[in-house]
């Protein structure tokens, strides 16, 4: 799986005119499943994200995880993280999982996040044309790739 985590002061995702997910302080997780991914990989990825120490402690060091700051998690599916830009100017997306597997692993990741994180877990809408608004805090942006 490929993920991009952004520490945010706030974030929301809309489909059309309706907000489908929003959080205050926390982390925005863009998530892309790859063809060889499994539920176990999705579980490991969520555990990794929840354990990331990307929030400042009293000394100003990034030493606290999402739970320690009472932060929310907004999870948004984004197959474009698997973009292949090695040839030409039009990205290819054959590295992303198909829709059925992608949806299954996205829903698994959400379920795992809701089970493991006591704070708010919000989501986008798989396969929808979404608008994501965020205030990146730091900025802090961290790419993660996990393979089975």
Using one digit for the tens of pLDDT, what is the confidence trace for 97-123? Answer: 999 999 999 999 999 999 999 999 999
The dihedrals phi and psi of 4, each to the nearest 5 degrees, come to -130, 120
Q: What is the CATH number of the domain that holds 109?
A: 3.50.80.10
Rg (CA), the chain: 15
Report how many domains make up the chain.
Answer: 1
What pLDDT shows up at residue 123? 98
**Is 80 an active-site residue?**
yes
What pLDDT shows up at residue 101? 98
Structural domain span for residue 49: 2-138
Does the residue 144 lie in any domain? no
Burial of 15 from C-beta contacts in 10 A (0-12 / 13-18 / 19+): middle
Strand partners, 145: 2
**Is 79 an active-site residue?**
yes
Q: How far, in Å, CA of 144 to CA of 60, rounded?
A: 24
Tell me the per-residue pLDDT of 23-45, one tens digit each, with 9 for 90 and over: 999 999 999 999 999 999 999 99
Statement: residue 90 has pLDDT above 90: yes
Nearby residues of 142 by Cβ (< 8 Å), 6 or more positions away:
4, 5, 6, 52, 54
The catalytically annotated residue of 80, 93, 141, 145 is 80
The catalytically annotated residue of 55, 78, 112, 145 is 78
Statement: residue 148 has pLDDT above 90: no
Does the residue 130 lie in any domain? yes
Tell me the per-residue pLDDT of 65-84, one tens digit each, with 9 for 90 and over: 999 999 999 999 999 999 99
Does the residue 146 lie in any domain? no
């Amino acid at each position: 799986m490929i993920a991009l985590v952004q520490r945010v002061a706030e974030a929301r995702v809309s489909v059309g005119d309706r907000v489908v997910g929003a959080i205050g302080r926390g982390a925005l997780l863009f998530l892309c499943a790859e063809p060889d991914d499994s539920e176990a990989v999705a579980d490991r990825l969520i555990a990794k994200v929840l354990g990331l120490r990307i929030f400042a402690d009293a000394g100003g060091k990034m030493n606290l995880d999402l739970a320690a700051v009472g932060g929310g998690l907004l999870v948004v599916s984004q197959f474009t993280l698997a973009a292949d830009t090695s040839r030409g100017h039009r990205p290819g997306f054959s590295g992303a999982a198909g829709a059925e597997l992608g949806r299954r692993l996205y829903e698994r990741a959400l379920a795992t996040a809701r089970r493991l994180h006591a704070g708010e877990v919000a989501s986008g809408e798989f396969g929808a044309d979404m608008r994501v608004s965020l205030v990146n805090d730091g900025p802090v942006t961290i790419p993660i790739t996990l393979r089975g």
